[in-house]
Structure 1
Amino acid sequence: MAGQIGVGMVGYAFMGAAHSQAWRTVHHAFAVPLTPRMAVLCGRDAAAAEAAAAKLGWAAFETDWKRVVDDEDVELLDICTPGDTHAEIALAALEAGKHVLCEKPLANTVAEAEAMAAAASAAAARGVRSMVAFNYRRVPALAFARSLVAGGRLGELRHVRAQYLQDWIVDPAFPLVWRLQKDKAGSGALGDIGAHIVDLAQFLTGARITGVSALTETFVKERPLVVSSSGLVASSGSARGEVTVDDAALFTARFDCGAIGSFEATRFASGRKNSMRIELNGSAGSLAFDFEAMNELHFHDHTADPELAGFRRILVTEPGHPYVGAWWPPGHGLGYEHSFTHEIRDFLVALGEGSDPAPSFADGLQVQRVLDAVERSAAAASVWTPVR
């Protein structure tokens, strides 16, 4: 149908719900060139997939992603599954001529990510587009921060400090869900939340990480086994399984612009629910952001009169700030879900223009290479490890 694009989504849990909200909302908030038609949702459990489709606004449901790829009504595939399935689904969709939006991290291994990036490049030559879903790029305060850095307001970049702190698995009785299993998740806090701050640091600086020195730790090495993969998470009494991913990852890094960085990703920071923090220091100024105050950006102009200089709080809710003009009057803050709507908006605009969206699969591959270097460094007792 003219002006519409049929969307199929694989996966319907946390990320599936967030993406569904964005697909439902985007054309009501933004003048996008294509209106999404939520054609089909896919999940392995028929009853759960049918219920999710009805709840989240999808016209139909399916239990085999291959049938979604073959569906002529589906022109764009949204992948919201665990990392072990990303490569197979994305490669099949690109080969079938479907545009692809894939959740982060792009894959579980560098080899998978390389294959996906190569397929995406070949598909782009045929007009088939792809994008990795690093949604935090679309937080207005962070998009605004990028414009300040690109405009030279920080001068020569020298330091990057990034943290992503959560506490949802502090309790040793928390079950062995898929995110704690390497064969499904690829890595633990490193890939789940560390991938976000790696991408964000490279996005904000416009530079690449070239090497790392790292350590990782798994604090709780066994957890109760999960007996149900749908609905509420449950455990099976005394039966336990091995945790095969990291609970926390720390690393220092060098950037190709000459800056140095420190990174921390943990799911054991008691009291921290979703504290993603990043600070950039340059010769002419600094920026600081914390997602738990997501509508605020703190900026220091080091060229100002020292008697007046200091960090100032910018409330990023003005119509001229990135994305904000589509929403509410100044001072009325946005939320987590808006970052996904902005992400979908940018993808649809790129499709309408016939341009390559960002972050690309190549960007996702670069993040994967950093994650891989962190794991290799940690395994070698923090030896300095080039990103390759």
Structure 2
Amino acid sequence: MIGAGFMGAAHSQGWRVAPRFFDLPLQPEMAVLVGRDLDRTNEAADRWGWGETSTDWREVISRSDIDVVDVVTPGDSHAEIAIAALEAGKHVLCEKPLANTVAEAEAMTDAADRAAARGVRSMVGFTYRRVPAATFARDLVAAGRIGEVRQVRAEYLQDWLSDADAPLTWRLQKDRAGSGALGDIGAHAVDMTEYITGQRVERVSGILETIVSERPLLGEASGLSGSASAERGAVTVDDLALFTGRLTSGALASFEATRFRLGRKNALRIEISGSTGAISFDLERLNELEFYDATAPAEEQGFRRILVTEPGHPYAGAWWPAGHMLGYEHGFSHQAKDFVEAVAEGTAPSPSFADGLHVQRVLDAVERSSAGDSAWITVS
């Protein structure tokens, strides 16, 4: 695994736990953790259970004993690392968004296609697809339980940047992160919409806003850690993204991604209304799915709460007795399970790099729309 920050902890949990709850056809070995700072990487490896550490990712991906490379670095290095790993014959799991630009995502997808011809697999980490309630929502829509999709509302709401004196981290720098709320969390709203509905976003109209334009610089020269200083630097990404999308069927979808909605900590919400029913999901209540059946007698209609913890629900049967809740970290175990099974079976994992490229094109179209007075832009 290359990267030892927040996502490094989450992915490590997934790799460590998945083989203990699922009967995997191959057993992942957490061999090497790669980070920039050796002391911090050693500390992380000890805590998370990695066998050894390195500060040289190029040397690690050249090793014959490494089969899989998991990329959890900031977006500005995804393309270089993933392409090099695929060309070295390694299966690659890469965190979302796939890249910082469409051009980088295209190059990564081309490399993934070439590698697939040699039996080398790749997947982008839209982990929320693997929350049991979200997967179950997809199954209900695919089974026709809500009829024809007519309208979608998807939003990802956080408040961790509402303090104007929060420091200028890499996530607020366009050259490192690619975009702000749009790419960081808006990408999840787009992917979740497409995953559950089975449709693509084909046209968008949107606007981006940077609410706080300057923030305190961090004390250390790296700009990534340490205490904030009195000097301030420019925020070069968006804080808020609002956009409308037209789906393949012609249905309209509204999207919001913000890191300024006070009181919302990690609220990925989606509500899909169809011709015969509707579903509603909120990540802050991730064990629940709300389902509305418009074909029921009028006296019985209303959203009903489904607790998605039964053995027959997606993934849930491998864990605890019904009603014993799963958490945020379980999605990463499900991701590791699905990836290992695809590698073992020689099948294409999902979501693919091509799926990640499409989301990147949606994000790019939103940016271009915002720059052009919210004009409608076709997703190429």
Indicate the TM-score class for this superposition, using the shorter chain for normalisation.
Answer: over 0.9
Are 1:64 and 2:56 counterparts?
Answer: yes
Structure 2 residue ranges without an equivalent (≥5): none
Equivalent residue number for residue 125 of structure 1 = 117
Q: Which of 91, 113, 129 is 1:137 aligned to?
A: 129
Greater CA drift, 243-252 or 64-73: 64-73
Q: Which of 343, 353, 375 is 2:367 aligned to?
A: 375
Distance 1:70 1:232, change over 3 A: closer
User: 1-side partners of 2:82 and 2:22: how far apart?
Assistant: 27
Q: CA deviation at 1:235?
A: 3.7
Q: Which of 268, 283, 287 is 1:295 aligned to?
A: 287
Distance 1:230 1:296, change over 3 A: farther
Equivalent residue number for residue 352 of structure 1 = 344
Q: Which of 24, 31, 54 is 1:32 aligned to?
A: 24
SS of structure 2 residue aligned to 1:362: helix
User: 1-side partners of 2:258 and 2:243: how far apart?
Assistant: 12
Q: CA deviation at 1:227?
A: 2.3
1:258-297 to structure 2, matched below 5 A, reads 258-297=250-289
Q: CA deviation at 1:306?
A: 1.2
User: 2-side partners of 1:256 and 1:186: how far apart?
Assistant: 27
Q: CA deviation at 1:218?
A: 0.4
User: 2-side partners of 1:385 and 1:291: how far apart?
Assistant: 29
The answer as to whether partners of 1:49 and 1:61 remain within 8 angstroms in 2 is yes
- Deviation string 1:31-58 (CA, Å, 9 cap, x unpaired) is 0111111110000111111111111110
SS of structure 1 residue aligned to 2:216: strand
SS of structure 2 residue aligned to 1:278: strand
SS of structure 2 residue aligned to 1:81: coil
The answer as to whether partners of 1:157 and 1:258 remain within 8 angstroms in 2 is no
- Deviation string 1:324-353 (CA, Å, 9 cap, x unpaired) is 000000000100000000011000111111
| Equivalent position amino acid for 2:145 in 1 | R
SS of structure 1 residue aligned to 2:89: coil
Q: CA deviation at 1:240?
A: 1.0
1:98-247 to structure 2, matched below 5 A, reads 98-228=90-220, 233-247=225-239
Q: CA deviation at 1:258?
A: 1.9
The answer as to whether partners of 2:169 and 2:224 remain within 8 angstroms in 1 is no
SS of structure 2 residue aligned to 1:335: coil
Distance 1:290 1:229, change over 3 A: farther
**Percent of pairs with identical residues:** 64
User: 2-side partners of 1:250 and 1:11: how far apart?
Assistant: 31
The answer as to whether partners of 1:48 and 1:230 remain within 8 angstroms in 2 is no
The answer as to whether partners of 1:175 and 1:233 remain within 8 angstroms in 2 is no
Q: CA deviation at 1:236?
A: 4.2
The answer as to whether partners of 2:149 and 2:274 remain within 8 angstroms in 1 is yes
User: 2-side partners of 1:232 and 1:86: how far apart?
Assistant: 18
Q: CA deviation at 1:171?
A: 0.7
Equivalent residue number for residue 311 of structure 1 = 303
| Equivalent position amino acid for 1:306 in 2 | A
Are 1:251 and 2:266 counterparts?
Answer: no
Are 1:48 and 2:48 counterparts?
Answer: no
| Equivalent position amino acid for 1:242 in 2 | A
Equivalent residue number for residue 86 of structure 2 = 94
| Equivalent position amino acid for 1:364 in 2 | G
User: 2-side partners of 1:334 and 1:231: how far apart?
Assistant: 35
| Equivalent position amino acid for 2:114 in 1 | A
Q: CA deviation at 1:229?
A: 7.7
User: 2-side partners of 1:27 and 1:236: how far apart?
Assistant: 41
Q: Which of 354, 359, 364 is 2:356 aligned to?
A: 364
Distance 1:36 1:228, change over 3 A: farther
- Deviation string 1:165-198 (CA, Å, 9 cap, x unpaired) is 0000111111100000000000000000000010
User: 2-side partners of 1:23 and 1:231: how far apart?
Assistant: 30
TM-score (norm 1): 0.96
SS of structure 2 residue aligned to 1:137: helix
Distance 1:344 1:325, change over 3 A: same
- Deviation string 1:79-100 (CA, Å, 9 cap, x unpaired) is 0000000000000000000000
Equivalent residue number for residue 321 of structure 2 = 329
SS of structure 2 residue aligned to 1:20: helix
Count, aligned residues = 380
Distance 1:346 1:15, change over 3 A: same
